Structure formats: C-alpha cells, structure tokens
Structure 1
Amino acid sequence: MKTTNKADIRSHCAVNYGVEIFGDRWSLLIIRDIVFDGKKTYGEFLRSEEGIATNVLASRLAFLEEQGILSRAPNPDDRRKDFYTLTEKGLDLIPIVLNIVIWSAKHDSKSYVRRSKAFLARLSRNPMQVSEELRALVRNGGCMFPESKE
C-alpha cells in the first residue's frame, strides 16, 4: 500500500522521500508515458506495454494527483474522460527520468532508447539542456516522441 499522508513517511531522508512518493514501478511509468508519449487519459495509460492492472492504475493516478505530481481536468471534447498532466512538481521529475534513461541505455543492451542514437547522444552530451527543453515541451502539452502515441 502506498503512503498517502506525508505524516506516514518512514523517515525524512531525501532518498526515502523520493522512493515513497514516486519510487514504485508504476508511478514512474505513468510519468514516462506523459513525457515521452504524450499520454493523457486513463485508457491511454492502460494500453502501455507493461500491462498495468486497472485497480493499480486508478490507485497510482489518484496517489500522484494527491501528492501534487499530476493534475486532472475534464477532457473538453469528452467530459466522461479526464486529462492527466504533470504539475510543476511533476515536471521536476524529468531530469530523474532522463538519468534513468541514460543509465538504462548504458546497462541494458536491448533498451529501446538505443534505437534513437541521435537522442541518446544529445542526452548524454547535455542532459540539463535536454531536460529543460523537454520540461518546456511537456508543460505546453507536447511530448518527446509524438509519433509513438497510440
């Protein structure tokens, strides 16, 4: 069960705080889907290749919203659906996600990011610049790889 109350946090060690807020597998994958693929709806997240269960997805989206990582707003075209976007606090996770990408490309010979050699080379050369550009892009509703959106 995820911690939902800051008073329930086990310790105030900076690493522990991060792990308790965004350190589970699904939370980071939801953030990844927003940043890289531009996913915004429950249904789009549900179709991710990792196969998240519906109850887990609903729980993680609610938790990330409660923690101020995501914001939720009704889709103006279909009020039955909600759009999830990263808040400023959520956008602050982009450098972390990009560093995970760099680490994974280095240590996982089958990493998808290896297929995008130009992106990986640019990210490795100047991660802070890529991070700031990506932050601005996502803040304005864009994503890193719009062509991969379902």
Structure 2
Amino acid sequence: MDYNFRCDCPFTSALDIIGDKWILVIIKQMLIEHKQTFKSFVESDEAIATNILSAKLKWLEDFGIVLKTKLITNKKSNIYLLTEKGLALTPLIVELGFWSDQHLREFHPSLVEGVTMDVLRKDKAQFTKNVEQSYREMLAAINTLTHG
C-alpha cells in the first residue's frame, strides 16, 4: 500500500489516517457499542452506506487498527475487532464525547443524557479505563470463539 501523507507533521499524519468522520464513527461503534459485524454497522443509527463501510473497514485493517477474523462457530461471517493500536484511540474517542457534551448541547439539545454521561463528566479518566476494560473483556470472550 502506498501511504500518501500530506506532510511530516505527526498531527496531520494522524488525521490523514483517522480524521475521516466515518473512521471515527466506526471506531466509536466498535469501542463503545461493541459492534463487530458488517451487518451491525450497517443497521446502526449512523446509517453508513455499505460501499463506504467496506472501504473504511479495509482502510482500518490496512493500518492495523482493526483485525478482520471469523468465529470458529460461524466461518461465513467476518467480525471486526480493534487491535492494540485501535484500542490506543480510546482516550481520543472519550475526549471527543466529552468535548461534544460540553460544547455542542446548544446546537444539539437532544444529545444523550443519563448515567453514562454522568460518569464521563465526573471522572473522564475512570470512564476511559472502564470503556477499555469492557472492550478487553469482550475480546477475551471472543478470543475463545475465534481460536477455540
């Protein structure tokens, strides 16, 4: 794969990879909502088109952010899992949610409320740890279904 980065700036280079809105939505869906299958992404509220989803999942896979695999109980369907590189984006995703909660409510008053947002507002660091731990627990359970 030919990597065409705009410049040598690490911030811009990161945005070249994960700065697309669909990329961040997919990572959020995997991390927070534990979506794993193509069908579950397509059926989500964000309504990503199948051609865009295919391209973005392949992009994430090419950069080692997502791993495509199969369950031993269902060899027909692919599942998509965040790698360690993908999980390292947890603080960024949480920070985006926190920023949105703090700065977008005036424009989007129906943003989700509830216990989850209360926890995020109270202790962002603990919330981040909880999200990552929950994903790792899901991965451990899936690992037994992908490797026996």
> What TM-score bracket applies, with the shorter chain setting the length?
0.7 to 0.9
* Percent identity for Structure 1 against Structure 2: 30
What's the counterpart of residue 136 of structure 1? 133
Out of 100, 103, 120, the position equivalent to 1:123 is 120
Gaps of 5+ in 2: 140-148
Number of residue pairs aligned between Structure 1 and Structure 2? 136
**What CA distance in whole angstroms lies between the structure 1 residues aligned with 2:124 and 2:6?**
32
SS in 2 for 1:141: helix
Which stretch has the larger CA shift, 70-79 or 36-45? 70-79
What's the counterpart of residue 31 of structure 1? 27
Q: CA deviation at 1:141?
A: 1.3
- The one-letter code sitting in structure 2 at the alignment partner of 1:90 is G
Out of 76, 82, 88, the position equivalent to 2:78 is 82
Q: Structure 2 length normalisation: TM-score?
A: 0.83
Q: Structure 1 length normalisation: TM-score?
A: 0.82
Q: Higher relative contact order by CA 8 Å / sep ≥ 6: 1 or 2?
A: 1
Larger Rg: 2
Which stretch has the larger CA shift, 64-73 or 104-113? 104-113
Q: Runs in 1 of length 4+ with deviation above 6 angstroms?
A: none
The answer as to whether partners of 2:32 and 2:131 remain within 8 angstroms in 1 is: no
SS in 1 for 2:81: strand
